[in-house]
Amino acid sequence: MRPLHYLRALRGIVARELYRFVHQRERFISALVRPLVWLFVFAAGFRSTLGLAISPPYETYILYEVYITPGLLGMIQLFNGMQSSLSMVYDREMGSMRTLLVSPLPRWFLLTAKLVAGVAVSILQAYVFLGVAWAYGIEAPVEGYLAVLPALLLSGVMLGALGLLLSSFIRQLENFAGVMNFVIFPMFFMSTALYPLWKIQESSELLYWLAQWNPFSQAVELIRFALYGRFNGVACGYTAGATALFLAAAIVGYNPSKGMMQRKGGA
Each residue of 44-102: pLDDT tens digit? 666 544 444 444 454 444 567 777 889 899 999 998 888 777 777 776 666 666 666 66
User: What pLDDT does 58 receive?
Assistant: 47
What count of other Cβ atoms lies within 10 Å of the Cβ of residue 40? 13
pLDDT mean over 5-10: 78
DSSP one-letter code for 254: T
pLDDT over 90, % of the chain: 24
Asked if 67 and 54 touch (Cβ cutoff 8 Å), the reply is yes
- The span from the CA of 128 to the CA of 178, in Å, is 29
User: What pLDDT does 121 receive?
Assistant: 86
**Residue, of 197 and 209, whose pLDDT is higher:** 209
- The span from the CA of 40 to the CA of 36, in Å, is 6
User: What pLDDT does 96 receive?
Assistant: 64
Domain residues for the domain of 136 are 3-263
Give percent helix, percent strand, percent coil of the chain, each to the nearest 5: 80, 0, 20
User: What pLDDT does 243 receive?
Assistant: 95
Please count the structural domains in the chain.
1
Closest of 5, 158, 1, 195 to residue 82, by C-alpha: 158
User: What pLDDT does 27 receive?
Assistant: 67
**Residue, of 90 and 155, whose pLDDT is higher:** 155
pLDDT over 70, % of the chain: 76
Closest of 246, 251, 243 to residue 267, by C-alpha: 251
User: What pLDDT does 1 receive?
Assistant: 64
User: What pLDDT does 242 receive?
Assistant: 95
Residue 146 — pLDDT band, cuts 50, 70, 90?
very high
Q: Cα angle at 20 between 168 and 112, to 5 degrees?
A: 40
pLDDT mean over 102-120: 83
Asked if 69 and 133 touch (Cβ cutoff 8 Å), the reply is yes
221-256 pLDDT tens trace = 999 999 988 899 999 999 999 999 999 998 888 876
**Residue, of 178 and 197, whose pLDDT is higher:** 197
- The span from the CA of 54 to the CA of 74, in Å, is 18
**Average pLDDT over all residues of the chain:** 79
User: What pLDDT does 151 receive?
Assistant: 96
25-38 pLDDT tens trace = 666 677 778 788 87
pLDDT mean over 177-195: 83
